[in-house]
Structure 1
Amino acid sequence: MKNLMVILGLLVGTELYQNSLAQVNVNINIGSQPIWGPTGYDYVNYYYLPDLDIYYNVPQQQWVYFEGGRWITAPVLPPRYSSYDLYRLHKVVINDNQPYLRNAVYRKQYASFKGRYDQQPIRDSRDTKYYVIKNHPMHNQVANRGARPGGNPGPQPGRNNDQQRGHANGRPERAGREQGEHHGPR
């Protein structure tokens, strides 16, 4: 009986440990966030951009926008959005599975964020947790020195640290790459 209790305890402990690891993996996706995204979020499913009334799916790195009577997903924005500065536009974090299906709710709820330019983009952050993002200006310096993002390398001598780092069935339709050039942040 004592052995059974020990085995049961080990099984329960192992299950709890595995569940806690799964929870951590699900709740952190900093490395997937684009450098034009706002700082302050360890996990993001979608960004909603009220000025454009569009969504960005962070895990899939896909835009979701309404066109021709249906929701379209694409890796790049169509040319009609090319004049907007993604670093300046306000982004609302929405951790819903398919927020575009409730677009009227989100459009109304976040209408007051249109025209607001009050968020710091990840690109401009000196928080070391963002250095894991490939296009972050400090990513290569940290990677080249073998440093881990947890340490703070501080400002780099001789470097300008502020430079620019350049629907069917409820599912969005996929748009092909033939839609044009990349119109995201540069």
Structure 2
Amino acid sequence: MQTNKMKKIIFTAVLAISCLSIKFADAQVSVGVGLNISSQPDWGPTGYNNAGYYYIPDIGAYYDVNAHEYIYMEHNAWVHRGYLPPRYRNYNLYGGYKVVINDRDPWLRDNDYRGRYASYRGRHDQAMIRNSRDARYRNHWMGVRNERMRNQNIRARRENMRERNMNRRDRNMNQRMRQQNQRMREDNRRDKHDDKH
């Protein structure tokens, strides 16, 4: 009987050690591969050696840290752009809260993240990389930042122009429809007047 107990104890110990060694090996691999501090923008939150995406609850958008692209809903489809759309032009990325997400394609589970992080909307108490004195952030995404920001501003201006042109077209279309409706009402009045006489 004691032999069976000993076998069970030894088997359990071997199983536990093998599970722990697998977990330890996985942890070593993920640490070696997953560092991307240098890709994080200066408005990103501090404290993360690896950040795949930021979820920005205030505007319901995502930011791909490695591709330096925003992901947001436009015309009922998720789009990837190097800039935010005009409707968010006054949003302060340095002031808003960012949630680090390391899941793949988080926008595909937007309802889950929106619900889970709704309480972070309107929060402005997060430490950001720009203000950090931590040595690991000294060389964060500085190389092409100014050029990217310039390109982002140019794209945003173009997008604003497109939006203004679309609004102008809509206003012109509405004005034409009002004029057409006015003409139809006048024609109806004339027809009624002619029918009476």
TM-score (norm 2): 0.58
| Number of positions where the alignment pairs a residue of Structure 1 with one of Structure 2 | 127
**Which of the two has higher C-alpha Rg?**
2
How far apart, in 1, do the equivalents of 2:40 and 2:157 lie?
Answer: 21
How far apart, in 2, do the equivalents of 1:31 and 1:103 lie?
Answer: 27
**After TM superposition, which residue ranges in structure 1, 4 or more long, deviate above 2 angstroms?**
19-26, 177-183
Question: In angstroms, what is the RMSD of aligned CA positions?
Answer: 2.9
How far apart, in 2, do the equivalents of 1:178 and 1:118 lie?
Answer: 30
Are the structure 2 counterparts of residues 124 and 67 from structure 1 closer, same or farther at C-alpha, using a change threshold of 3 Å?
Answer: same
Give a deviation string over 1:129-169, Cα, whole Å, max 9, x none: 00011439xxxxxxxxxxxxxxxxxxxxxxxxxxxxx9xxx
User: Is residue 86 from structure 1 mapped to residue 96 from structure 2 by the alignment?
Assistant: no
**1:133 matched residue in structure 2:** 140
Aligned with residue 123 of structure 2, among 116, 120, 124? 116
Matched letter for residue 127 of structure 1 = D
Structure 2: runs of 5+ lacking an equivalent: 1-25, 144-148, 160-197
Q: Larger relative CO (CA 8 A, sep 6+): 1 or 2?
A: 1
User: Is residue 180 from structure 1 mapped to residue 156 from structure 2 by the alignment?
Assistant: yes
Q: CA deviation at 1:180?
A: 2.6
Partner of 2:62: helix, strand, or coil?
strand
Aligned with residue 34 of structure 1, among 26, 34, 41? 41
Partner of 1:117: helix, strand, or coil?
coil
Partner of 2:72: helix, strand, or coil?
strand
Structure 1: runs of 5+ lacking an equivalent: 1-18, 137-165, 167-176
Q: Percent identity?
A: 44
How far apart, in 1, do the equivalents of 2:102 and 2:27 lie?
Answer: 20
Q: CA deviation at 1:24?
A: 3.8
